[in-house]
A and B are shown apart, each in its own frame.
Chain A
Amino acid sequence: MAQADQLVLEARGVTLQYKTPQHLVTATYRVDLEVFEGDRFVILGPSGCGKSTLLKAIGGFMAPIEGDIFLRGRKVVKPGPDRMMVFQEFEQLMPWKTALGNVLFPMHATGRFKGKEARERALSVLSKVGLSKFANSYPHMLSGGMKMRVAIARAMAMEPDILLMDEPFAALDALTRRRMQEDLLELWDQLRFTVLFVTHSIEEAILVGSRILVLSPHPGRVRAELNSSYVHGQPVDDASFGLLSKRIHKLVFEGETEAAKPGVHA
């Protein structure tokens, strides 16, 4: 099957738990998902439903209690540069390196790109995110949106199999967030990378995503998976946008009260 080659990421029955001194917290329960080449795959769910935890597991920072995660058919066991993470926090940048230094760092650290080639790549990615002028600025001299662009450029420059983004725009103001969402789509139009994008905003999910996985409230379980690429390019006040948004809203919030109870075992 042609589709099988294009399967980038697969999660089968992934259950994730945290052990705290008092509790055993189940963050996600038997989650399945499949991400194909070129997908803008969005994981959407209410706050605390385990989206970040799922992303951490895909990143290889946490092992599932049950189930497996495969990247291009290989089981995920530890973190690696084939999955580049972009986090919500600005601290992910290294304050002691310039924007360019930050983009270069993973290239050099992994030895994937070297010398002049690495530099040229880094500069070209920085110009793609509109930061050519700030290549030599340190992160503390950049605005929040610019820092996020550096983080995205850094991840993208590595050409990972999949880009993992955990609410990358959540810490930005509404105007900047819109700009960044549009810029991300523009970049995707140019480069067609595969991205897994976590958000708790329905609007953002529809704007950014081509396919949306809806998780139930805590503990996160698969609630639905929807196509949203047909809204791509439509204005936000378009009827199709509103309809999809209503549909997702219902999926996310209906039956919230019963579902929220389990998950914390003594």
Chain B
Amino acid sequence: MSGEGAVKSQLILRPEFDRVPVDASSVGEVVRPLSWLQRLMDNALFRRGAILAALALIWQLYALWLHNSLLFPTLTDTIGVMVHDFADGTLLQRTEASLEVLLMGYAAGVALAAVLTTLAVSTRLGDDILSTLTAIFNPLPAIALLPLALIWFGLGTPSLIFVLVHGVLWAIALNTSSGFRSVPETLRMSGRNYGLSGVRYVVTILMPAAFPSILTGLKIGWAFAWRTLIAAELVFGVSSRSGGLGWYIFEAREELNTSSVFAGLLTVIIIGLLVESVLFRAIEARTVEKWGMQR
């Protein structure tokens, strides 16, 4: 009976106790500053900056080692061309032209998506129309519509805006309506409890509740738009005197000016990064993260 097994399965008797909890009044006041290294490592911007710096270094070293500026110019050369072209205004003008068209197309796409999704949540017909249209057009690459746009609108900004709207609209509409669908039933019911309906209901309840999905849609739409625009400009930037960044890259290639091609590409990348990691990050931090809807 007094074997090992019996001892193990026995409960160990311990005395009971009852005491006043230790004084915790000082917990709140004690502030232990994090070391500067810890703070730096906690900073996402710093971490991503470090990765970017590492990539830049690899670029530079590889280009130096390759030593063929026609194929692969160094980062410093590229930046030199960029600075020069920004200073003399060519690159700045191109960038402005691209961004202007982009903003128009993006805004039009967002507005259309808002109208369509609002219709879709208000009526069943609207919902059917939106899901059918999305199923048809979402898989269609925006650039594939360019020839059609050229026939309809000719060379110029309207054609670009047409393809941009197509690129932006479906991604945003798809994400927004799936976001609307996943709004919890109790939240919907409490919204309707206050007598909200129609557009007011969509704007004050559904939109904020679906904001994480809407934001994802906006981000995807932005990336589609930027990509589509540069591609479209590469195809027919020729037309207007004030071509965009795509046209700048195209021109540089014609002249076998590889550094300029890289400078154009780098500008495209930098603008993309800025919008993604500065603009959208700021929106995220002020909305979905603050509300605890996304981490």
**Which A residues fall within an 8 A CB radius of B?**
56, 59, 61, 79-81, 83-85, 87, 89, 91-92, 94-96, 105-106, 109-110, 138-141
Find out whether the CB atom of B195 lies under 8 angstroms from the CB atom of A87: no
What 9 A-B pairs are tightest by C-beta distance, nearest first? A140-B292, A91-B184, A92-B186, A109-B194, A106-B194, A96-B208, A96-B291, A95-B291, A87-B186
Give CA–CA (A84, B193) in the complex, Å.
7
Any A CB within 8 A of the CB of B204? yes
Q: In the complex, what's the smallest C-beta–C-beta distance from A97 to chain B, in angstroms?
A: 8
Residue of A nearest to B184 (CB): A91
Find out whether the CB atom of B293 lies under 8 angstroms from the CB atom of A95: yes
Any A CB within 8 A of the CB of B209? yes
Any A CB within 8 A of the CB of B114? no
With known contacts A94-B209, A109-B194, A110-B195, A59–B189 Cβ distance under 8 A: yes
Give CA–CA (A80, B189) in the complex, Å.
11
With known contacts A91-B184, A92-B186, A96-B287, A81–B292 Cβ distance under 8 A: no
Known: A81-B193, A96-B208, A138-B292. 19 other contacts (CB 8 A): A59-B189, A61-B192, A80-B195, A81-B194, A87-B189, A89-B186, A91-B184, A91-B186, A92-B187, A94-B187, A94-B205, A94-B208, A95-B209, A95-B293, A96-B209, A105-B194, A109-B200, A110-B195, A139-B292
Any A CB within 8 A of the CB of B32? no
- Residue among A83, A85, A94 with most chain B CB within 10 A: A94
Any A CB within 8 A of the CB of B277? no
- B contact residues around A109 at 8 Å (CB): 194-196, 200, 204
- B contact residues around A87 at 8 Å (CB): 186, 189-190
Find out whether the CB atom of A79 lies under 8 angstroms from the CB atom of B293: no
Residue of A nearest to B287 (CB): A96
Q: In the complex, what's the smallest C-beta–C-beta distance from A146 to chain B, in angstroms?
A: 14
- Of A80, A91, A106, which contacts B187 at CB under 8 A? A91
Residue of B nearest to A151 (CB): B190
**A to B CB contacts below 8 Å, 30 in the list:** A56-B189, A59-B189, A61-B189, A61-B192, A79-B192, A79-B195, A81-B194, A83-B193, A85-B189, A87-B186, A87-B189, A89-B186, A91-B184, A92-B184, A92-B187, A92-B189, A94-B205, A94-B208, A96-B287, A96-B291, A96-B293, A109-B194, A109-B195, A109-B196, A109-B204, A110-B194, A138-B290, A139-B292, A140-B292, A141-B292
- Residue among A56, A79, A83 with most chain B CB within 10 A: A79
Any A CB within 8 A of the CB of B211? yes
- A contact residues around B196 at 8 Å (CB): 109
- B contact residues around A96 at 8 Å (CB): 208-209, 211, 287, 291, 293
Q: In the complex, what's the smallest C-beta–C-beta distance from B140 to chain A, in angstroms?
A: 33
Find out whether the CB atom of A81 lies under 8 angstroms from the CB atom of B195: yes
Q: In the complex, what's the smallest C-beta–C-beta distance from A150 to chain B, in angstroms?
A: 12
- B contact residues around A139 at 8 Å (CB): 292
- The 8 A CB mask of B164-199 against A (1 = contact, 0 = none) is 000000000000000000001011011011111000
Give CA–CA (A94, B193) in the complex, Å.
14
- Of B193, B287, B291, B293, which contacts A59 at CB under 8 A? B193
Residue of B nearest to A142 (CB): B292
Give CA–CA (A214, B72) in the complex, Å.
82
Residue of B nearest to A160 (CB): B193
Residue of B nearest to A141 (CB): B292
Residue of A nearest to B200 (CB): A109
- A contact residues around B205 at 8 Å (CB): 94
- B contact residues around A95 at 8 Å (CB): 209, 291-293
Give CA–CA (A83, B192) in the complex, Å.
11
Give CA–CA (A85, B184) in the complex, Å.
15
- A contact residues around B187 at 8 Å (CB): 91-92, 94
Residue of A nearest to B187 (CB): A91
Residue of A nearest to B204 (CB): A109
Give CA–CA (A22, B97) in the complex, Å.
59
Give CA–CA (A104, B277) in the complex, Å.
34
Q: In the complex, what's the smallest C-beta–C-beta distance from B151 to chain A, in angstroms?
A: 45
Give CA–CA (A56, B185) in the complex, Å.
12
Q: In the complex, what's the smallest C-beta–C-beta distance from A249 to chain B, in angstroms?
A: 30
- B contact residues around A79 at 8 Å (CB): 189, 192-193, 195
Q: In the complex, what's the smallest C-beta–C-beta distance from A149 to chain B, in angstroms?
A: 15
- A contact residues around B292 at 8 Å (CB): 95, 138-141
